[in-house]
Every structure is written in structure tokens, then in C-alpha cells.
A and B are shown apart, each in its own frame.
Chain A
Amino acid sequence: MALDDTKKTREFKVVGTRPDRPDGIDKVTGRARFGADMVAPGMLTGRILRSPHAHARIVRIDTSKAEALSGVKAVVTRADFGEVPEDVADVLDNCMAGDKALYDGHAVAAVAASSPAVARKALKLIEVEYEVLPHVTDVDAAIKPDAPVLHEGRQQETVPEGLSQNVIARSEFGHGDIEAGLKQADRVVGRTYRTAATHQGYIEPHACLATMGSDGRADLWVCTQGHYMVRNTCAAILGMEQGQLRVTASEIGGGFGGKTVVFLEPVALMLAKKAGRPVKMVMSRSEVLRATGPTSSTSIDVKIGMTKDGRITAGFAELRYQGGAYPGSPVDMGAMSGFAPYDLENVKTVGWDVVANRPKAAAYRAPGAPMAAFAIESAIDEAAKGFGLDPLEVRLMNGADEGTKASYGPTYPAIGLKATLEAAKSHPHWSAPLGENQGRGVACGFWFNFGGDTCVSLNITPDGTVTVSEGNPDIGGSRASMTMMAAEELGIPYDQVRTIIADTGSLGQNEVTDGSRVTFAVGLATIKAAEAAKTEMCRRAAMVWGIDEEAVEWEDGAARPAGPNAGKFPPMTLKEIAAIASNTGGPIAGHHEVNAEGAGVSFATHMVDVELDRDTGSTKILRYTVFQDAGKAVHPSYVEGQFQGGAVQGIGWALNEEYIYGDDGILQNAGFLDYRIPVASDLPMIDTVILEIPNPGHPYGVRGVGETSIVPPLAAIANAVSEAAGVRMTQLPMSPPRVLAGLQGKASA
């Protein structure tokens, strides 16, 4: 769907500037209300009892002693939930175990009590009889035919004979002839890469406050990336109609994909129902790490065939991802995205979705892509270096462009990959000298970006203030961007517009805040809603002037006669039209509902310098530059912020973050002490270069940016460390013991 190009080439007045965000004052004063900041009269504390076993049959649960404890108002187990539709069956089982506990931390029961202390005591009084079963946490071990099996009968037909039932599905993408392509190569790099599971690491634990009346109508306050998703999922699980449950999104303290699913919410609602009182539930940090949605750990085989002048003749990857205890790892997205930056005649990826006794994986910023990029970009780097070729030149030579058939199927319209590579080449970072024990690495990355269901309602008050009601929680500053786009479209000052996140009673349906979709899709709907409002305001002006609607146009915040023949009327500003709205038919609004298509893909190139301490294997990040295509940067500061945030999450993933399970299947590092995310002193400034190759599918050319930024860092850093160490790193995280072992020539790094 090609939109009007004149919008993209015009001079923007608001879009592209850097105004203060509307929620800024609330957030710097502590006034903003997050998930755990809400209270209700008579509120109870809800707490969850969790399995201490990685895999166990739940033989019997006796809650009688807990129920008898003074102060306990409700106890819930799986028995309280009825049959649910198939598409939420796994979600329910994850929120409250049925006949098996499938991972350390799996919820098995819950209580609501008059205080946290009573709730803690009550949990201790719940008696659970477990039959402990053998467990498996490693992805390659879970595939073996003799591995302990989590689910019977879930394996899809795509999976060949002879593999464990833990292997759920096999997928394949690509085109051409790999074998022929490899034969054309002057050299083939073939390696296996492994990555550990990581967590999104949002600083705000999950929290919600549920209230249910005896009439079955309920209210939920929750920190989430999608309150409409919460409404729909909880309604399905509790057997309610969606209209009976009103969900209000609090401010959200980080999500990165981990809050696009529910964990506490159905349980809180069930407790509130049974207790007849509001129930507040807040996870501890240890619960967040044990029992929400980390990424997959992976094992990936890659083969790259390259000629001595740098042409990739074949690209192959086989990816094995464990998605935790239920089917649905993001292996397909890894398999589709890994080779996306390249124009290849022969490319093939095979993806395996595997289950293991770990918490169910949830999305983490470009789900599935960073691991695939780590493997593929490392192999390309090794092949290029093997011929003494410049890694940026090799990527330019093989880079995708407009008209390239992507490895995952579609043909690209205008894209920005080569622009990011050219920008990288000509940047001073690329030519800065390196010292002893220092190395430089580059890598490319890609994300699809999505559209999805979106509703926006734009309303004008009698004094001419504009309110934009949209349905996507603001995780990165999106309210500012919507405000800017509405102001731009209406031709009025930024301060005259206010954007709010409407509860589920106010709009029909909105896809979650994911897929880097909000600035694109909600922005597009905001622009369309503004257009609708302008049309209506022009109609009112026409009414006042007694001329035809078609003879009125909107410019610079006012309705004007279109052309000299329409009549000599002074322009009517938005404020003036708003003031007479009642007299000209009623209040003025514009709205737009769409399943947005036309999201533009976003490419990036990352460049990083590292320094190794050869005696300890420690890696220091010296310098980092992000080059990424944003299509059109609505608010450049927030685009930069996405680039920097994604890069730093990638740094943590590359160097230190990992889920550590013991042989007993128990998570050993369920806290911020030993699950090590980057701290301020670990990092330099993260420099950013925004490229703008407009997306044909958005009125202003906007592309999503939030996810691509986490895709290149794992490989860029691995390439830099490999360069500095003189040893190819194939396993993440590149923690000091691993790097040291590589330097000492021990076990493969």
C-alpha cells in the first residue's frame, strides 16, 4: 500500500524535533504510578507457591491448613479454573500448574491474605506431594531420544522419526541449492555456536491489582505491554466476556517483550473472585527470574561458503532453540532473520523448536534474532578475515538492497542496510587506531517490525485542546511521538495536544506494544485520525461560510478557503472551530481503526572496540557506535535511546548474562547479584548514527527501531573479542573464564 509520498518529502515542523515528553515530570518526581503503586480499600496481598523441583508430577495439594489460618481470605489451585480454549491452555498451565510442575519456580498454588506476613505463613502451610521426575535443561540433551519427556503428543508432523517428543516442530526457509553453492566456494567456514538463556531484565517486577464484583465484572490495574491482550487472555481463562473485564495499564517499568504475556493476572483475578476483595500481587526479583519468560538457550550450526574475493556462495544454518516448558520458542524468527541482510543465491535455514524444563520463553526484543545473528555474522566475519578481506566491504558486496529476494521470502522495497554500512565505513570510529590487546568487530542485524490491530481516537475539547486516546502502554517515550505526529498533522503546537493510554473499555482492540510497532502503527492511526478530524473541521468551517465542503482545506492549523474562487474568508483556527462545535453539530473527533500493514524493516550495523586483559580474560568495551535505519526519526532523542538501550542489553548478553542451572535443574542465579546486567561503570558512551531511508508504508516514512538494536551486538562483540584474542569465540556469554581458556588454548572457546 503506497501512501502519499508528499507527506514524506515535506518540511516537518514538529516531527524530528526534541520536545520534552509529556510524562516527564511525573517520572522525575516519583508521581508516576507503576504496577505496584496502586492501592484499593480492603486490599489483600496475593502470593504464589512455587515448585522447588524442575520436573515433578503433582500428586496431591492440601490447602486446608492454609485456608484455616486467620487472615487468609482465599486459596487457589488449578482446580479452581475450568476448561479453557486451546489457544490459552498453555498460558493457564504456565500460570498455575496442572498435573505436572515443569520447571523450578512453576506456580502450583496461591493465597490472598490480609498482610504479606500472613500470606508468607499461609504458603508454608500448603502441603504439596510431588513425585519428582528426571529433568532436562540443555537444548541438545532435550533432543536426544532418551531425554525425559515433558509433554506427550505435542510433536508436529514436521518432525522426523527418531527424535525425542521434546522436539515439537521443524521449519525450513530459503532458496537455491546449498550443496552447489558450497562447491563454488574457495573456503567454507563451518562451526557450532551456543548461547545461554538470558532475561529481559526489566527493573520493575510484574505487579497487578485485581478487583472482581459479585456480578462477575472485574477491574485490573497492571503493568503490561498490552492491556488488551491481558483482557482477552484473562477473560478466556476465567470464562468471562471481554467486555466484563476492564484493564487499565499502569506506567510500565520496562518490558522488552517480557510483559507481552500474563503470569500473575489470571491468578489475581481468581483470588479476587474467591475472596470478594481486591488482591494485589507483586513478584519478587527471584520470582521474575525463575518464573517469567527468559529467552531461549540455543545451539546453532552454520556453514558459510565464500570465494576469495568475498562473495558468499552459500549460507546455511541449523538452529536448535529450547523455548522452556511449552512449545513456541522464537526459532522461526531466528531462522528467517539471520541471513536477511544478504543477497544470496543459495541460502537455507532449518529451525527446531524444543521444550525443556525451564520457564516458558517470552519475547525479548527481536525474539530469536540476536542468537542467529551471533552465529551467522561470526561465521561471515571468520570467512572474510580468512581471506584478509575488510568485513564491511564483504557485507557491502553481499548486502541486500531494494529488489533483493530475502532469505525468508519477500522481496525488499527500499531498505537501509547499505546506508548503515556506508555510514560505518566513513565514520571516524572505523579508522581510529587500536592499541595492544584491542580488537574491533562489526556486525549487521535486521528486524521485521510489525503492524497489527490499532485504534486511535482523537478528541477536541471546547477550548481547542486535543486528546489522543491510544491503546499501547508507553515503554520508550511513544506518547511524545504520538503527540508530535498529531500536532504535525493538525498544524498546531505540541503543547496543545495530550496523548493518553486508554483503558480497555475505551477502545476496541489493540495489539501489544511489541514488534517495534507503536511509532509505526499507532502513529499511522494517529495521523489518519487527525486527518478525519481535519475533514470534519473543514466541514464545520464550510457550514459557517456557507460554501461547499470540497472548497475548504486545512493548512497551518486552520481551515481555509481552497483557492481564490472559494470565497474571501479569514482562516478559522482549530480553537475557533472547537469553540463553536456545539452549534455546528456537536463535539468534534476523528478516529481510525486498522490492522496496520506496511511496517518497514529496519537494518543496523554495529561497530565495537574491546580491550582484553590477557591475564584474567576480562573484556572492556572501549567504544561503541550504532548505525541504524529509522526511516524517519520522529523524536531523535528517543530513537537514539532505543539504539543505546538495545546495544547495552546486547553487551550484557555477550559478556556476562546467562541462566545458570545446576545438575538438579534448579536456577542458581535468580537475582541481580549473580544475573549480571551491565552497570554504568562497565560502559562507555554509546554513539549513534540515525539513517533515514523512508518506509513507503508509513505517511512519514517511519520504521520501527526498538528491536533491531539488540540484534548485531552479540556478533559485533564476539568478532571484536575474537580479533583481540586471536581465537574464535563460539559460545556466549564470553565471560572471563571462557575468554581466558580461549587465550590459553584450552577447550574450544
Chain B
Amino acid sequence: MRYEAPRRLEDAVSLLAGQDGAHVLAGGTDLLVKLRSEMIEPEMIVDIKRIEGMREIAAEDGGWRIGAAVSGAEMGEHAGLVADWPGVVEAAGLIGSTQIQGRATLAGNLCNASPAADSVPAMVAAGARVRIAGPNGMRDLDVIDVPQKPGKTALERGEFIASVWLPARGERSGDCYLRFIPRTEMDIAVVGCGISLSLDAGDRVTAARVSLGAVGPKVMLVEEAAEAITRRVLDEAALSDLAAACSAAATPIDDKRGTIDFRRHVAGVLARRAAVIAAKRAKGETA
């Protein structure tokens, strides 16, 4: 196996395009586990951390462009990012332990294409987009279009994610990510829910994006759930409808981490709670 740490984007692209069995290394918290367990046997590892810009967070068009090698811990230390997108930051900050957050990245979490990835529902709710570098140049893709099925993404040979872009937050808007795990930390999400919403002066929801993770082969954007609360105040009735829509949309499986019934039920519970927190944040209240 070869290890390469190119300093230029184009070099990374040629290495990845020119070699069968080449894998990208950013934080390594998924890659090294797979390597150790012999789930993969790479011919080459391409470490992208030394490429210029990979470790930067920059303001862009009112939003934020986050380099693919930025760790969850670094995101949590960036005041601007935390202020605008606390849900995305807290989602990244829930991946594994403090040690994992010292290395894990949004891009890596996304490209691992696990249905239970913590950062993905939050990114989907935020309307995040990724910028992909490849042999044919750069292209942008909505986050939700990246995972295709467990373990598989829409990235072609030679392509890798160079950055993640979060849009401008907008007035009276807030996001939140919650997950259910059996312990208090360290577990893979049994259910994950990311909600981003905006309120008018009367606290009615003007726009919402509701995303569920770990209840289907890919993360889902649940439009019925968003519709259930749009143009409404988040009272008990609205929250009930939101929960019901999420439970109905969920298509979970039974596995060692949870049963179908349990996941469906909890999807609804989390949606409620996430919406309440997102609304508080939208109003500028501390949750």
C-alpha cells in the first residue's frame, strides 16, 4: 500500500483517478477502522490534509465554506459557524468521542455513506452543498444527493469532496440536530433528526426542512413533515402532526441497534424535540 500526501488539489485528483483501489484520507476515523478490520485493502491512501484550503473555514456569500479536512472540534471552536448553524456543529460534535471529533470531518462522515451518520441529517436540513474536485474539474452537489445507498456515494472515480458549503442563515431562523442513542455518548445513532426552520414575526413557520437519519438506507428529507408545520405556530397540534409525519415516513429495519417499531416511534419524538429547539434558536432564545 502506498501513502501519498499531495499539496495540490490537481495532484490529489490524478492520484485518485490514476489508481485502482485508491482511498481518500481526511480524519481517518472510518477509513482506519475499515483498514484494520480488512474490510478494504487499499492500494493507495491519498491524504488530503496538506492541500491548501482543506483545513479552513471561510465566510462565503453570507454562508460558510468549510474545507474537507476541518475537524468537528475545529467547527465547534468557530464562533461564526456556531452562531449560524448550531445544529450542524452539534451534529458533527456528536460523532464519537472528543478524540474522534479531533479528527472526524463532515465530508468523511458523508462519504462513508452510513444511513446513521450524525452530521448528514443536519447538513440536509441546512440545505448544504458539497464542492467536488475531479478529473473533469469542480462540480457542486446537494448533500442529500451524495449518498446513494449504504456504503456507496455519487462520487465518480478520481473525485473527492473538497469543501462543504452552508448557506446564509437568514433572519429568525434556527436549526437543531438530535439523535437517540442508548448511552449518553459513543453510540451510533439509532435515529437521527435534523431540522432547520424560519419563523415570521408571529412565530409561524415560514420555511422548514426536516431530515431523518438511520431510518432508511439513506438519510431522508421528509417534505410531508415540513408541510405539516409550515404556516403554523409550533403548538402541540403542529408538533403532533410533525411527529406523525416523521414516524410515517421512516422506513427503518430491525438490527442490533433498534427495532422497526422503536425507530418509527422515536423518529416522531425526536422531530418534536428538535423542532422546539430550532424554534427557540430562531427566536434568539438560548435553548
Contact = CB atoms under 8 A, between A and B. Distances in A.
Direct contact of A and B (CB under 8 A): yes
B258 interface: yes
Given A673-B188, A736-B262, A615 B269 contact: yes
A117 B261 CA distance: 44
Contact of A616 (B37, B184, B259, B269): B269
A120 B182 CA distance: 35
Contacts of B187: 673, 676
Contacts of B185: 679, 681-682
Nearest to A615: B269
B151 to A, nearest CB: 17
Given A615-B269, A616-B269, A737 B184 contact: no
Contact of B183 (A616, A617, A678): A678
A737 B186 contact: no
B266 A682 contact: no
A566 interface: no
B256 A668 contact: yes
Instruction: Classify chain A's interface size.
Output: 20 to 34
Interface SS of chain A: helix, strand, loop or mixed?
loop
B7 interface: no
Contacts of B184: 679, 681-682
Q: Which of B183, B187, B269 has the most CB of A within 10 A?
A: B183
A656 B269 contact: no
A676 B262 contact: no
Contacts of A740: 262, 265
Interface in B144-197: 180, 182-188
Interface SS of chain B: helix, strand, loop or mixed?
loop
A667 to B, nearest CB: 10
B257 interface: yes
B96 to A, nearest CB: 9
B183 A656 contact: yes
B20 to A, nearest CB: 20
B186 A736 contact: no
Contacts of A736: 180, 182, 262
B258 A737 contact: yes
B182 A735 contact: yes
Interface in B171-229: 180, 182-188
Contacts of B182: 618, 655-656, 676, 735-736
Given A673-B186, A676-B183, A616 B266 contact: yes
A740 B184 CA distance: 17
A458 to B, nearest CB: 45
A333 interface: no
Contacts of A286: 37
Contacts of B188: 673-674
Contacts of A618: 180, 182
29 contacts: A120-B38, A286-B37, A616-B266, A617-B262, A618-B180, A618-B182, A660-B256, A668-B256, A669-B256, A673-B187, A673-B188, A674-B256, A676-B182, A676-B183, A676-B186, A678-B183, A679-B184, A679-B186, A681-B185, A682-B184, A682-B185, A735-B182, A736-B180, A736-B182, A736-B262, A737-B259, A737-B261, A740-B262, A740-B265
Given A673-B187, A681-B184, 4 more contacts: A615-B269, A616-B180, A674-B188, A679-B186
Interface of A: 120, 286, 615-618, 655-656, 660, 668-669, 673-674, 676, 678-679, 681-682, 735-737, 740
